[in-house]
Amino acid sequence: MSELLARDLAVGYGKTPLISEISLRVRSGEIVAVVGPNGAGKTTLLKTVAGLLEPQGGALFLDSQDFQTVRPSERAKRIAVMTTARAAAEFATCRDVVSVGRYQFTGVMGRLSAADRAAVDGALQTVGAQELSDAEFDKLSDGQKQRVLLARALAQEPGVLILDEPTGFLDVGYKLEFIATLKRLARDKKIGVLMTTHEIELARAAADSAVCVSADRRIDRVGPARDVLTNDYVETLFNIPRGEFGRTYGERSPSRGSEPALSAFSASHSNRPGAKFLMIQGTMSNVGKSLIAAGLCRVFKQDGYRVAPFKSQNMALNSYVTADGLEMGRAQVMQAEAAGIAPSVLMNPILLKPTDDCGSQVIVNGKVVGNMRAKEYFAYKTKLLPDICAAVDKLAAENDIIVIEGAGSPAEINLKANDIVNMGIAKLVDAPVVLVGDVDRGGVFAQLLGTLELLDPDERARVTGLIVNKFRGDKSILDPGLAELERRSGIPVVGVVPYAELNLDDEDSLSERFARVSSAAVNVGVVKFDHIANFTDFDVFEQIPGAAVRYVRRPSELVGLDLLILPGTKNTIADMRRLTETGLESAILKYASAGGPVVGICGGYQILGEEVSDPHGAESGGRARGLGLLPVATEITPEKRRRQVEGTFVESTGILAALRGAAWSGYEIHMGRTRPTDPALAEWTSEGSGYCRGNIYGTYVHGLFDRKEVVSRVVGALAKRKGIELTLDGVADYAAIKEREYDRLAQILRESLDMTAVYKTIGANR
């Protein structure tokens, strides 16, 4: 199972690339044909993709690995090239010829092992040439030779097979036989096939997709072969007089006259078991893409489809941590809720957390990769393409429809190269695009038409519908404008969505993020330890309208927090050291000395103390100084304590005094014992499981806040301190409220959008 992926690849020999901006993908089991006139550079393209020529630019990936880093010896086991160059080996038998394919598998003298011999026989058998094994290669017919050369390539046991004009020498009988063999290989052995061919009819019949290189050396069109290679298009590509191709080869042009991108889409995905795609792009930030995507997720869910949201890259400070401890953007969490499924990092493989004006922390698949300046990231991001593809593929395998959200505007012409969030993704998965404009901010027609104007023709062809969002008032006022918009763009307006106030976690863009952070009544910060554990402890805060949870990694992120939580960690001593190194330690101490409340849970509790020692080496060994905020000391012991517990808040000091006497339930899971070093220290949670002093609280109990009265008292107390009255009735019903809101959103979309057109666009039947 191999996959080859090229993005904005430039190929050629000299200094100026012969063809550039090549984006193509060969999936396992798929046949991709490269067609185009002579001299367009098809062979150069193949050679580059096969690793025989250095790429002149762009990125090339083999199984998600940067092609440049794949060693040639490794490459030869994954990609086989079938060359048509006549062999010079006089007297060589077919078996000899095929055996050469085992080059990378044999030792220094090239002797074949039993496994090698079996592979050679297997390859000969696969192409039906076993009876030719001992025949002299030079004396075979062309058709037989081609079969043996194919066997030689198969002896490499490749995932991807590259062929240059494989049927060139063959008569029609051999041609058909050869193509049948190729199709069988792709189907049964899951081999991805990339080949150049001059046989248009053959490419139409055999290839899953076609990559068309035009005479002026551009990738002119990519899509399902039978849809792209219409007679009309072939005539354009090869500069044949109108109608000539059809007259000579017969009028067999499958989807003549239909919108190429649209039909291309439905065909390519209807014959694959995976999902159908729909991409929502906006004319700018904050046009309401996220909500429309969420609403569509809910509509599709209601209509009985398995649907998942996707956005390749989010830029947001406030992230969500999934059940498996990975960080992702919140918009896709909301959309996942609307889709009725659990959020997963697959839905948002790249998260950028801005650190300052021109730098961000880069999080890939939920894990921190590092900090990068904007420029660095710009260069780095193409390397993330395989991660994006992998994420989309996994989602597509498990769902019927994937709703993809774009970011910002697709028409940022300064950033168009190496785009991985808008049209780049749409092309990658071959998704139709619906473009959303914001009427509330004015100039919606200019937004939509201007955006379309700045798109390349192939990108524009992807846009199958327009949406006017956030409209207030009488829609009939808009109608003349909409008619003109449709006339000028040639793209239908699929709906005008009214402005709606929704009680949802809607936006994730930079500007709104800051707005939201300051407008949330209560901000709870959770220190994102490297070895963070049991973070579901804080989900309960998410359920309260007006409370926001954010994960904190850097000192600056502590600003504006109403409560800081040190969560559990799987490695207390290592994470304590990290706190010191990152400067969070002094920031936390400063925050605490200013009277900010700090709660430590489990490992976080241990860190709040004076010292943590690990004499038995249960975690990383050694001893570490704690933050010294609570006069307790911890000794980590090898045995693990794991139990369900119930109790009360025996005492509660400081800001959280309201907790005193409240009952809690939860569980303990930890290694180690923590004892107060000051006998007068107040017991916080019963049975000595936690202590507090002033605004510093520590406990071993996970899930401490889960009970409604506990969390509402905590949030209430924090809000009160800020002078805000929060209505906390129906706290536990927040999930239900959100459900209602998603349904309302879906209803709004059903009423305002032409859903039949939307379903037609994505190629699904209602």
Q: Which residues are catalytic?
A: 602, 702
The encoded tokens of residue 335 equal 């959309």
DSSP 8-class letter at 681: P
Interface with another protein (CB under 8 A), residue total 34
In whole angstroms, the minimum distance from the beta carbon of 130 to another protein comes to 19
Residue from 10, 87, 176, 682 that binds another protein (CB under 8 A)? 87
- 83 touches another protein by CB under 8 A: yes
Q: How far apart are CA 633 and CA 624, in angstroms?
A: 11
356: β partners: 359
Residue from 1, 39, 68, 110 that binds another protein (CB under 8 A)? 110
Give the interface segment with another protein, choosing from 43-51, 182-190, 197-205, 242-250 (CB under 8 A). 43-51
Strands 568-569 and 622-625: unpaired
Q: In 484-630, which ranges are E strands?
A: 493-498, 522-527, 532-533, 547-552, 563-566, 568-569, 598-601, 611-614, 622-625
In whole angstroms, the minimum distance from the beta carbon of 101 to another protein comes to 8
User: Shortest CA distance to 656 belongs to which of 538, 529, 544, 565?
Assistant: 565
Closest to another protein by CB, 90 vs 216, is 90
Strands 401-405 and 307-310: parallel
DSSP 3-state percent helix, strand, coil across the chain (nearest 5): 40, 25, 35
Closest to another protein by CB, 161 vs 307, is 161
Q: How far apart are CA 685 and CA 646, in angstroms?
A: 9
Strands 160-164 and 57-62: unpaired
Q: Strand, helix or coil at 362?
A: strand
In whole angstroms, the minimum distance from the beta carbon of 77 to another protein comes to 8
Q: Which residue has the tokens 């795609």?
A: 277
- 166 touches another protein by CB under 8 A: no
The encoded tokens of residue 586 equal 């002094």
Give the interface segment with another protein, choosing from 97-105, 266-274, 304-312, 438-446 (CB under 8 A). 97-105
Closest to another protein by CB, 108 vs 114, is 108
In whole angstroms, the minimum distance from the beta carbon of 33 to another protein comes to 20
- 81 touches another protein by CB under 8 A: yes
Closest to another protein by CB, 83 vs 255, is 83
Which contiguous run of DSSP H or E holds residue 236? Answer: helix 231-237
* Helix residue spans in 583-637 (DSSP H): 584-593, 603-608
In whole angstroms, the minimum distance from the beta carbon of 86 to another protein comes to 8
Residue from 92, 205, 589, 658 that binds another protein (CB under 8 A)? 92
In whole angstroms, the minimum distance from the beta carbon of 67 to another protein comes to 13
- 50 touches another protein by CB under 8 A: yes
- 103 touches another protein by CB under 8 A: yes
Residue from 14, 16, 38, 71 that binds another protein (CB under 8 A)? 71
Cα–Cα distance list, 596 to 520, 522, 526, 567, 717 (Å)? 17, 13, 13, 16, 13
Residue from 38, 85, 476, 593 that binds another protein (CB under 8 A)? 85
- 148 touches another protein by CB under 8 A: no
User: Shortest CA distance to 494 belongs to which of 333, 299, 332, 309?
Assistant: 299
Neighbours of 639 (CB within 10 A): 9
Residue from 56, 156, 231, 281 that binds another protein (CB under 8 A)? 156
- 14 touches another protein by CB under 8 A: no
First to last CA, the chain: 34
Residue from 1, 89, 413, 446 that binds another protein (CB under 8 A)? 89
Cα–Cα distance list, 177 to 127, 184, 252 (Å)? 10, 11, 22
User: Shortest CA distance to 504 belongs to which of 621, 637, 335?
Assistant: 335
Closest to another protein by CB, 81 vs 287, is 81
Residue from 16, 38, 69, 73 that binds another protein (CB under 8 A)? 73
- 88 touches another protein by CB under 8 A: yes
Residue from 14, 72, 241, 442 that binds another protein (CB under 8 A)? 72
- 328 touches another protein by CB under 8 A: no
Residue from 16, 38, 109, 173 that binds another protein (CB under 8 A)? 109
The encoded tokens of residue 576 equal 């304590």
Residue from 6, 32, 76, 391 that binds another protein (CB under 8 A)? 76
In whole angstroms, the minimum distance from the beta carbon of 111 to another protein comes to 8
Closest to another protein by CB, 15 vs 86, is 86
Q: Number of C-alpha atoms within 13 angstroms, CB side, residue 359?
A: 7
Q: Are 502 and 525 in contact (CB under 8 A)?
A: no
In whole angstroms, the minimum distance from the beta carbon of 167 to another protein comes to 19
Q: Strand, helix or coil at 700?
A: coil
Q: Where on the chain is the footprint of another protein (CB under 8 A)?
A: 47, 50-52, 71-77, 79-81, 83, 85, 87-92, 96-97, 100-101, 103-104, 106, 108-111, 156
